[in-house]
């Protein structure tokens, strides 16, 4: 008899065929050992696209904390149940010897997917993924003179194969790099993402950090520190697609019918959008208007309060559609998307249409990204209170 560890709420699947989950859970002392082959069960069905990672041990060597990550199909939600009850159990399946899905080549990782496609991850470039369908992504920096630069230095790329008793299910990739924003100005950029082997879906995050020390003039920590860095725009660029469209709050804009489409979230769109809380180093609120605006070939075609955009792409008419999203797009204003029939720039920090963002010494910004090939939502999960209490892992 297995005990429910956490649940995925049915609302997670509204309009989606899959939902992504990742959470940590405590475990009772002595229940599982590091050598145990564990698997996640959703409503008593094996969750194929899930992996379990050990994070911390009890003094006796048994598992104290672990994380569970994966993709849950809506098919698991049956009989009108209000949630998917997830349990963890030892697997009694015989070990499966599969070929390694990752090959280390001269400058990239070649990852073989289960559907016959492949993905190349460039080891000396940040978030540079090329799919066999020719879709290509890459991190970029936009300079003050609006030059798009994809060069980063000191890139270190590591990966970890993630499996369950059914075989390899995902590859976790971590990249660390340095971005030169001036002669003596550097940013630390870290990307960590999980690439699922069934179809190449990517879920992950990019963190941007100013590693410099603050000078604290007169003992104050304030805007305008000499070691602050002005960010014009950092983002993710997508190229080599056949067709693309931009979905903005249920309205679809095709890129076939225009030369350039842009959306700019200038402020929160809330009643206090121009609050003094948003002053810059010059003690001015630099936000130009309330909410967002959409321009098509230079003409205003839409405006509103909060923009929740999604980029849809097809590498060829016969390929499945790919979708790129950045979580909390409007909350992290100023943010923007600039799309043409050949490339799409989605900002992660700052916007070319706004004043520069001041990243203070020691400050870090993190953005969650998603590149999916079937509609995927972010799951609403809840740990089982009884399970947590029985673990005695939290004092």
319's tokens: 């390929």
Q: What is the mean pLDDT of residues 355-371?
A: 95
* 321-359 residue pLDDT tens: 789 999 999 999 999 999 999 999 999 999 999 999 999
Residue with tokens 């999203």: 325
CA–CA dist 336, 319 (Å, integer): 27
pLDDT band at 369 (very low <50, low <70, confident <90, very high): very high
* CB distance 253 to 245 below 8 Å: yes
* CB distance 26 to 32 below 8 Å: no
The pLDDT value recorded for residue 29 is 97
CA–CA dist 59, 237 (Å, integer): 47
* 176-189 residue pLDDT tens: 999 986 656 789 99
The pLDDT value recorded for residue 79 is 63
Could you give the percent of the chain with pLDDT greater than 90?
A: 72
pLDDT at residue 233 tops 70 = yes
The pLDDT value recorded for residue 8 is 94
HEC string for the chain: CCCEEEEEEHHHHCCCCEEEEEEEEECCCCCCECCCCEEEEECCEECCCEEEEEEEECCCCEEEEEEEEEEEEHHHCCCCCCEEEEEEEECCCCCCCCCCCEEECCCEEEEECCCCCEEEEECCCCCCEEECCCCEEEEEEECCCCCEECCCEEEEEEEEEEEECCEEEEEEEEEEEEEECCCCCEEEEEEEEEEECCCCCEEEEEEEECCCCCCCHHHCCCCCCCCCEEECEEEEEEECCCEEEEEECCEEEECCCCCCEEEEECCCCCCCCCCHHHCCCCCCCCCCCCCEEEEECCEEEEEECCCCEEEEEECCCCCCCEEEEECCCCCCCCEEEEECCCEEEEEEECCCCCCCEEECCCCEEEEEEEEECCCEEECCEEECHHHHHHHCCCC
The pLDDT value recorded for residue 74 is 86
Q: What is the mean pLDDT of residues 268-279?
A: 93
**Beta-carbon neighbour count of residue 18 at 10 Å?**
22
The pLDDT value recorded for residue 258 is 86
pLDDT at residue 1 tops 60 = no
Which candidate, 146, 333, 322, 151, places its Cα nearest to that of 239? 322
Domains of the chain, each with CATH number or no CATH: 4-97+379-391 (2.60.40), 102-196+202-372 (2.70.98)
**Beta-carbon neighbour count of residue 306 at 10 Å?**
16
pLDDT band at 11 (very low <50, low <70, confident <90, very high): confident
Global pTM value: 0.93
* 66-116 residue pLDDT tens: 999 999 998 887 666 778 999 999 998 887 778 899 999 988 999 999 999
The pLDDT value recorded for residue 106 is 87
pLDDT at residue 382 tops 90 = yes
pLDDT band at 150 (very low <50, low <70, confident <90, very high): confident
pLDDT band at 60 (very low <50, low <70, confident <90, very high): very high
CA–CA dist 35, 168 (Å, integer): 17
Peptide bond into 26 cis (omega under 30): no
pLDDT band at 13 (very low <50, low <70, confident <90, very high): confident
CA–CA dist 384, 27 (Å, integer): 12
Q: What is the mean pLDDT of the chain?
A: 91
The pLDDT value recorded for residue 50 is 97
| β-bridge pairing 129-131 and 136-142 | antiparallel
The pLDDT value recorded for residue 145 is 75
* 204-221 residue pLDDT tens: 999 999 999 887 777 666
- For the stretch 199-212, what's the b/e string if a residue is b when 16 or more beta carbons lie within 10 angstroms of its beta carbon? bbbbbbebebbbeb
């Amino acid at each position: 008899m297995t005990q429910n560890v956490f649940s995925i709420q049915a609302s997670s699947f509204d309009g989606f065929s899959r939902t992504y989950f990742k959470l940590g859970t405590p475990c009772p002392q002595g229940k599982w050992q590091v050598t145990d082959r564990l698997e996640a069960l959703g409503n008593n069905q094996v969750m194929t696209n899930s992996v379990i990672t050990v994070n911390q041990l009890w003094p006796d060597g048994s598992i104290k904390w672990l994380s569970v990550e994966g993709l849950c199909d809506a098919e698991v939600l049956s009989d009108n149940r209000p949630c998917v009850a997830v349990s963890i159990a030892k697997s009694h399946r015989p070990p499966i010897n599969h070929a390694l899905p990752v090959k280390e080549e001269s400058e990239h990782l070649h990852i073989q997917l289960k559907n016959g496609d492949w993905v190349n991850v460039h080891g000396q470039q940040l978030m540079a993924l090329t799919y066999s369908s020719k879709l290509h992504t890459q991190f970029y920096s936009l300079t003050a003179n609006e030059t798009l630069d994809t060069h980063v230095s000191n890139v270190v790329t590591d990966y970890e194969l993630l499996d369950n008793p059914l075989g390899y299910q995902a590859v976790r990739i971590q990249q660390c790099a340095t971005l030169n924003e001036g002669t003596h100005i550097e940013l630390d950029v870290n990307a960590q993402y999980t690439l699922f082997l069934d179809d190449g879906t990517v879920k992950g995050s990019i963190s941007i950090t100013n590693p410099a020390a603050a000078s604290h003039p007169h003992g104050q920590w304030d805007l305008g520190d000499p070691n602050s860095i002005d960010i014009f725009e950092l983002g993710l660029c997508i190229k080599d697609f056949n067709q693309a469209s931009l979905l903005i709050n249920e309205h679809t804009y095709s890129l076939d019918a225009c030369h350039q489409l842009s959306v700019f979230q200038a402020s929160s769109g809330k009643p206090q959008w121009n609050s003094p809380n948003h002053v810059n180093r010059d003690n001015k609120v630099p936000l130009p208007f309330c909410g967002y605006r959409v321009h098509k070939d230079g003409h205003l075609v839409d405006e509103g309060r909060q923009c929740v955009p999604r980029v849809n792409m097809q590498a060829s008419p016969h390929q499945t559609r790919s979708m790129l999203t950045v979580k909390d797009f409007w909350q992290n204003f100023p943010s923007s998307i600039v799309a043409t029939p050949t490339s799409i720039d989605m900002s992660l920090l700052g916007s070319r249409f706004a004043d520069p963002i001041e990243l203070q010494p020691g400050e870090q910004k993190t953005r969650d990204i998603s590149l999916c090939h079937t509609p995927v939502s972010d799951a609403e999960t809840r740990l089982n209170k009884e399970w947590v209490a029985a673990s005695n892992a939290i004092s």
